[in-house]
Structure 1
Amino acid sequence: MMTLAEVDALAGRAHAGQTDKAGVPYVEHVRAVAAGLAPLGPHLAMAGLLHDVIEDTPWTAERLRAAGVPDRVVALVEAVTNRPGIPYEEKIRRITQDPGATLLKIADNAHNSRSDRAAALDPAQRERLAAKYRTARELLWAAADPRQVATVLRVVNPELLEEFDSWCDPRHGNPSRGPDRRET
C-alpha cells in the first residue's frame, strides 16, 4: 500500500505541467484539498491528492489500484469524478451518499471557492461558479458532520466559516444544526 508521500509524488507526476486559470501549478490545488482532509485521516488526504487524476489525466482507477493506491481511496476518487451526461446537482446528490466522498467534495468546493482563485476568472464566470458552488455547499454540508466540515474549512478556506456558521444556525432554517460548530 502506498504512503501519503508516495501518493503526493504520484499526484505531482500526474498533474505535471498543468496549471489553473491563474497560471498556478495545478498540483497546488490538490495539495490544498488534501491538507484540509489530513486531520480526518490518511485515506481522505490521499483522495484529496488524487481527486482530479481520473478526470484530468490519463490515469484510470485500474492504474491507480495497480500502483498500490488503496481501494477505498480509489473509490473516493471515482465518486467525485465528473461523468459525461450526469448533471452537476445529480452528481452532488450521489456524492452525498458516501460520507468520505462528501468531505472530499466539500474540501474541493471550498478551495475552488477561495476569493484569490476566483479573482483570476472573468466576472461572468466568477458569478456563475460562485452560484454553482453555493448550491453544492448546501447539499454537501447537509450530508456531513458539522464538526468535520468546520475542520476542513478552517484549513482550506476560512472565508467560508461565517457562511457555514450562518447555515448551521437554527434561526436560519437549519433546526437540526447547532449555532456554532467551529470547535472540533
Structure 2
Amino acid sequence: MGDALADFDEDIQIAGYLHDIAEDTPITRQALLEMGVSERAVDIIERVTRRFHDDPDDYDAGIRFVAEDHDATLVKIADNAHNSLPERVKALAEKWPDKPPVTRYADARPVLYTAVPREEVRMILERINPYLIPELDEIVPE
C-alpha cells in the first residue's frame, strides 16, 4: 500500500503495512507486541483481519465490523483502494477466481467511505488510487 496512510499517525501506518501479515500467516497478537508493534496498531490489525471476525467468510459483515472503528476503517480504505488498482484486481481474480474482487470491493466502499470524514478518505485516495475519487464524490458529496 506504499504511503497511502502517510498523512496519518505512526500506528495507523504500521497497521497498514502489517495488516495482511495477520491474515496470511499464523502470527499471534503476542508476537506482534513482542516485536515492538504498539497495542493500538495491533488492535487495528486485528480488526481489519478476517480471521478474527465471527464469520471470516462473510466479507460484508467484516466490512461493517471494520467500519465501527475509525482507525481500522482508514486502513481498510487504503487496502480497498490498493486492491482496486487494475494490476491488483487481475492478480486477485487469478488468486480467487470464485470471488470477483471488483464487485466486493465496490460494494464495501459506501460502508467504508461514510464511516470516516470525507477529507480523510480523499487523502488516502489521492495517494494510492485517484481513479476512485469520482466514486467518493458520488457516495459522499461535498
The answer to whether the superposition gives a TM-score over 0.5 is yes
Distance in 2 between the 1:101 and 1:151 partners? 16
* TM-score for both structures, normalised by structure 1: 0.69
Runs of 4+, deviation exceeding 6 Å: none
Query: Match for residue 100 of structure 1?
Result: 71
Distance in 2 between the 1:138 and 1:125 partners? 24
Question: Paired residue for 2:105, among 96, 117, 133?
Answer: 133
Structure 1 residue 58, shift from structure 2 partner: 3.1
Query: Aligned with 2:26: secondary structure?
Result: coil
Query: Match for residue 111 of structure 1?
Result: 82
Mapping 1:53-132, distance limit 5 Å: 53-83=21-51, 85-86=55-56, 87-120=58-91, 121=93, 125=97, 128-132=100-104
Distance in 2 between the 1:80 and 1:40 partners? 17
Partner amino acid, structure 1, of 2:4: G
Structure 1 residue 113, shift from structure 2 partner: 0.4
Distance in 2 between the 1:159 and 1:75 partners? 30
Say which structure, 1 or 2, has more relative contact order (CA 8 Å, 6+ apart). Answer: 2
Partner amino acid, structure 1, of 2:59: Y
Report Cα offsets for 1:89-139 as digits up to 9, x if no partner: 1111111111000010000000000112223445x9498211100111111
> 5+ residue gaps in structure 2?
none
RMSD: 1.9
The answer (yes or no) to whether the contact 2:114–2:140 under 8 Å persists in 1 is no
> 5+ residue gaps in structure 1?
1-30, 170-177, 179-184
Structure 1 residue 168, shift from structure 2 partner: 2.0
* TM-score for both structures, normalised by structure 2: 0.88
